A and B are shown apart, each in its own frame.
Chain A
Amino acid sequence: MFEDCIKCGICLQECFLQKLGINSFVSLPASDDPDGLWICCNCWICQEHCPVTLPLMNIKWQLQRNQQPPAFFERVLENIKACGHCIAIDEEEINDFREDIGLDAITLPESSIIQKLHI
């Protein structure tokens, strides 16, 4: 995946987490250190500055998908399966509130839709 990486370390210099002394995802290509795989907030700066234009974000997501995600992601996935959204939403409750403040009502998707989209 990182075959074309020339170990120049530019991603390490550009990552704002590294500047704060935090071991982030780019330690993997630059220093073969995989501990920061999940320490990344998708700001794209490393990829934008990589001199050999490695698709760092896609590589990171692929590596993450082969791992057990942190517990939070599991909960998010459960919520999406239940109501279509990352955070649990109850249609009646949210629409009562939205009506009170003058927002248009929303409709949640039918639950079968999420399954049919293979999520």
Chain B
Amino acid sequence: MKNMALFPGCLVLSLFPEYELASKKILALLDIQTHTLPETICCGSVLQSVNSNWIYAAAYDLALAERSGMEIITLCGGCTNSFKRLQWMCRSNPLLLDEINEVLAQVGLSFHNTVHVSHILEILFERKETLRRQCCKSLPLRVAVMTPCQVFRPANVMHFDDSDHPRVMQNLISSTVAEVVSYSMEDDCCGSSLSMSQESVAFRVGQVRLEELEKKKTDMIITACGNCHLLLQNMQSAYYQGRPIPCLFLPQLLGVAMGFSSKEMMISHPSVRSLIENV
């Protein structure tokens, strides 16, 4: 069993414990024991618009992981992006690492930029053959994918799949558990972070996506980021009056295919439960 540090991030910690729990459970079946990192703070992603000191927030979290001696697994696009970009910035500019360490010394930490950061999609994709063997149950569902774009872009930093047209989620799902519906917006950002500056714009983006997915007779949307999930699930009824399309986090869907019950995957949505449990 490999030990790894899990960084849930603000959104998952406060709103989406089911994502963290399902991730831990399926990773354990893939021989990864995860430990949620204590004392973490925001990854710095949102701070970038207001403060150039976001780098200290990201570096603080990475330094905590380095101290634990474990690699980091992230669950959201924004956290993955700010961590990996900070690492890239420190590699391109060694003076920045010194500057960061002066600040971190004030809180008794040091950062060497050695910790490995992976979004859960990267962990799952690296183990896709094992995953395929472990998925014993396929589900008669038509699902659409909401790719967390910041896990893939910018390409020179993220180095993961085709950054303009990532197909990692589609591959993982179609080879294990369900049919994947393709649609015109599948390479486009969810738009969720717009809800912080102009909610109506975020809602418009969500609405266009859901209307297309309704026409395509999509049973559910599969996400791998708290921010995408926030707009597409939690805010859905505020901007979309059609047939509700429930969202599940990818580890929840895979967990069911691996033999966990809906309850164990914290799937509470009645329509999703009936879709899954009637198999």
Q: Which of A41-55 contact B (CB under 8 A)?
A: 41-45, 47-48
Q: A17-B201, A45-B164, A69-B50 are in contact. Are A89 and B39 (CB under 8 A)?
A: no
Cβ of B42: which chain A residues have Cβ within 8 Å of it? 80, 84-86
Q: Is the pair A22, B150 in contact by a Cβ cutoff of 8 Å? A: no
The answer to whether A119 touches B36, judged by C-beta atoms less than 8 angstroms apart, is no
Question: B148 to chain A: closest CB distance in Å?
Answer: 10
Contacts of B13 in A (CB 8 A): 85, 87, 89, 94, 106
Contact A61/B154 with A107-B38, A116-B106 known, Cβ cut-off 8 Å: no
Interface residues of A in 1-55 (CB under 8 A from B): 16-17, 20, 22, 38-45, 47-48
Q: How many A-B contacts at CB < 8 Å in the complex? A: 155
The answer to whether B47 and A80 touch across the interface, beta carbons within 8 angstroms, is yes
A104, A106, A116: the one within 8 Å of B103 (CB):
A116
Contact status of A86 and B189, CB under 8 A, knowing A43-B153, A119-B47: no
A109 touches B40 (CB 8 A): yes
- CB <8 Å contact, B57 and A64: no
**A80: nearest chain-B partner, CB-CB:** B42
Interface residues on B, range: 35 or more
A41, B193: Cβ atoms closer than 8 Å: yes
Q: Which residue of B lies closest to A43 (CB)?
A: B189
Is residue B128 within 8 Å, beta carbon to beta carbon, of the partner chain? no
- CB nearest neighbor in B for A100: B17
A→B interface (CB under 8 Å):
16-17, 20, 22, 38-45, 47-48, 61, 64-65, 69-70, 72-73, 76-77, 80, 84-89, 94, 97-98, 101-109, 113-114, 116-119
Name the distance in Å between B190's Cβ and chain A's nearest Cβ: 8
Q: Which residues of B contact A (CB under 8 A)?
A: 10-11, 13-15, 17, 20-21, 24, 35-36, 38-42, 46-54, 56-57, 60, 78, 81, 103-104, 106-107, 149-150, 153-155, 163-164, 185, 188-198, 201, 204-205, 208, 266
Whether the Cβ atoms of A16 and B189 lie closer than 8 Å is yes
Q: How far apart are the CA atoms of A85 and B196 in the complex, in Å?
A: 15
Q: A43-B150, A44-B149, A117-B60 are in contact. List 15 more A-B contacts (CB 8 A).
A: A22-B204, A38-B198, A41-B193, A43-B149, A43-B189, A45-B164, A61-B49, A86-B46, A87-B13, A87-B15, A94-B13, A106-B38, A107-B38, A117-B53, A119-B56
A101–B196 contact, CB under 8 A? no
Q: Give the distance in Å from the alpha carbon of A73 to the alpha carbon of B47 in the complex.
A: 8
Residues in A with CB closer than 8 Å to B38 are: 105-107
How long is the Cα–Cα vector from A41 to B188 in the complex, in angstroms? 11
Is B17 a contact partner of A97 (Cβ separation < 8 A)?
yes
